[in-house]
């Protein structure tokens, strides 16, 4: 994104934000609650309109992508599922809408280790299972870019371990992976480097090293 600014009325949620996300690694997007992470990701995905600046995926605005589902997969915080549908039916419906062969539903369920629960109603899923299903939805089109908003929310330690391995494998395949969180320890497990924002502004970009927490807290305090 370049000089991205997005406001809600008088609240400037994202302010003159410029950063890029390289392929082949997991990039964390870190900042305190309300820093503007979700708004940045929603703007990138064309769900919120910016006041100014650009947010491009593979050189195009999301709305201009010829085949968005096969270009970018997203997990957003408020992903909604029809509670009465099974995981498989949910994914098959997405396949039909995106003209993806429905056999992909089973493949991605396997990929996120949900095959055993494939035919259970999503309404009975735990938060962690919903997160896996959201990730499965994002993977349907086998996209080169993944944008994940707080995907570790609700996962137990084993789930976070699994997610970390999965995201690293996706990045090792050459994909671009951007994953937001306000929990530093989560990102220090999952990401290679983190882009830090505070109050809508880019603060810094940090490699994930053992002293990440200290450097991050120093940066946040210095900005206040
Ligand atoms: N739909 C909206 N209408 C009005 N204000 C909004 C809306 N969405 C976000 N905001 C405001 O924009 C600012 C940034 O919010 P955002 O959700 O992007 O932060 P965040 O970094 O994702 O926070 P969190 O870690 O708590 O999810 C906040 O002040 C928030 O209140």
pLDDT tens digit string along 155-200? 888 888 889 999 999 999 999 999 999 889 989 999 999 999 999 9
**Residue to mutate, 37, 147, 203, ligand 1, most ligand atoms under 8 Å from C-beta:** 37
> Residue of the nearest CA to atom 30 in ligand 1?
34
Strand order in the sheet with 52-54: 11-17, 2-8, 52-54
Ligand 1 center from residue 86 Cα (angstroms): 31
**Would you place residue 108 in the very low, low, confident or very high pLDDT band (cuts 50, 70, 90)?**
very high
pLDDT digits (tens, 9 = 90+) for 201-216: 999 999 999 999 999 9
Give 62-107 pLDDT, tens digit per residue.
999 998 989 999 998 766 778 889 999 999 999 999 999 999 999 9
The CATH class given to the 2-81+142-222 domain equals alpha beta
Considering only CA atoms, which residue is closest to atom 26 of ligand 1?
Answer: 33
| Rounded to 5°, angle at Cα 181 from 52 and 65 | 45
Percent of the chain scored above 70 by pLDDT?
99
Residue nearest to atom 6 of ligand 1 (CA): 8
Q: Can you give the pLDDT at residue 2?
A: 95
For the CA of 32, the nearest atom of ligand 1:
25
Q: For the chain, what are the domain ranges?
A: 2-81+142-222
Strands 2-8 and 52-54: antiparallel
* pLDDT score for 79: 65
Q: What's the confidence (pLDDT) of residue 81?
A: 79
Q: Which atom of ligand 1 is nearest to the CA of 42?
A: 18
Q: How far is the CA of 11 from the centre of ligand 1 (A)?
A: 9
Query: Does residue 25 surpass a pLDDT of 70?
Result: yes
pLDDT score at 207:
95
Element of type H or E holding 210: none
Q: Is the pLDDT of residue 32 over 70?
A: yes
Name the DSSP letter for residue 183: -
Radius of gyration of the chain from Cα atoms?
17
This prediction's pTM: 0.93
DSSP 193: E
- Spacing, Cα 68 to ligand 1 middle (Å): 25
34 C-alpha to ligand 1 centroid (Å): 5
Mutate to test the pocket of ligand 1, among 14, 32, 36 (most ligand atoms within 8 A of CB): 36
Q: Is there an atom of ligand 1 within 6 Å of 33 CB?
A: yes
Top pLDDT among 30 and 78 is at: 30
**Exposed, middle or buried, 88 (CB in 10 Å: 0-12/13-18/19+)?**
buried
Structure ipTM: 0.96
- 30 CB near ligand 1 (under 6 Å): no
Q: Which atom of ligand 1 is nearest to the CA of 200?
A: 14
Is residue 43 within 6 Å of ligand 1 at its C-beta? no
Q: Is the CB of 8 under 6 A from ligand 1?
A: yes
């Amino acid at each position: 994104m370049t000089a991205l600014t997005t406001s809600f009325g008088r609240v400037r949620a994202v302010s003159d934000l410029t950063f890029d996300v390289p392929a082949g690694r997991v990039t964390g997007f870190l900042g305190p609650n309300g820093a503007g992470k979700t708004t940045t990701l929603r703007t990138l995905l064309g769900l919120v309109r910016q006041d100014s600046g650009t947010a491009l995926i593979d050189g195009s605005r999301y709305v201009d992508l010829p085949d968005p589902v096969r270009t970018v997969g997203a997990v957003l915080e408020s992903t909604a599922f029809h509670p009465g549908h099974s995981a498989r039916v949910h994914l098959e419906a997405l396949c039909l809408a995106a003209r993806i062969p429905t056999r992909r539903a089973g493949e991605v369920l396997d990929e996120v280790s949900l095959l055993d629960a494939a035919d259970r109603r999503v309404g009975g899923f735990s938060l962690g299972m919903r997160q896996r299903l959201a990730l499965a939805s994002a993977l349907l089109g086998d996209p080169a870019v993944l944008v994940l908003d707080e995907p570790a929310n609700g996962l137990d330690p084993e789930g976070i371990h699994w997610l970390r391995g999965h995201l690293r494998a996706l990045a090792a395949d050459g994909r671009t992976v951007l994953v937001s969180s306000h929990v530093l320890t989560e990102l220090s497990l999952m990401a290679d480097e983190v882009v830090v924002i505070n109050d809508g502004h880019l603060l810094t970009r940090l490699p994930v090293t053992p002293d990440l927490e200290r450097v991050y807290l120093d940066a946040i305090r210095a900005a206040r």
